[in-house]
Structure 1
Amino acid sequence: MKLSPGAYTASRLPVRLVYAEYFDLVVDAIAAERKIKGWSRSKKEALISGDWKLIQSLAKRRGGKPLASS
């Protein structure tokens, strides 16, 4: 079954914009979108609420040792 363009979103209405950011270059916007898509749900929720301290704590490695710097 092939859906028409917009059918995915149309079947999930209403949709709310919860976060937006302005970029001068499209490539920067695409890079930011890809980075955010890889985040956990809790980290995305912290971004939406603007809780930068929680984002920082969620970004810390849980394996114990920090990554070796080059």
Structure 2
Amino acid sequence: MPIGYMYILECGNGTYYTGSTIDLEKRIEEHKIGQGANHTKKHGVDKLVYYEEYPRIDLAFNREKQVQKWRREKKEALILGKHQNLPELAKAYRDL
């Protein structure tokens, strides 16, 4: 049984919010009623678009911090399951 989740929400303005939690359903509900992060309070939550399960919350938190740094195109490849595109999207703009 998973102990931690890394998740991505699509917000009302089309942006993505990345977070981690031990209770995915409860945390999404908190975001929806305005008890989540400032970003989701300001822009609202449309839907959960992606999540990963982890055996420990610290692993989910570390993954959250990794994905938060990604640009939009790379997050969308992850959400859409286009894992083959992730290495190319990992390149820095200066290397393109």
Percent of pairs identical after alignment? Answer: 34
Query: What TM-score do the two structures reach when normalised by structure 2?
Result: 0.52
Q: Does 1:55 align with 2:86?
A: yes
Query: What TM-score do the two structures reach when normalised by structure 1?
Result: 0.69
Using the alignment, how far apart are the partners of 1:47 and 1:5 within structure 2? 26
Task: Tell which structure's C-alpha radius of gyration is larger.
Answer: 1
Gaps of 5+ in 2: 1-33
Count of residue pairs the alignment pairs up: 59
Q: Which stretches of structure 1, 4 residues or longer, exceed 4 Å deviation after superposition?
A: none
Structure-1 residue corresponding to 2:35 = 5
1:29-65 deviation per Cα after TM superposition (whole angstroms, max 9, x unaligned):
000000000000000000000001111211135538x
Larger RCO, structure (CA 8 Å, separation 6 or more): 2
More strand by share: 2
Q: Does 1:46 align with 2:77?
A: yes
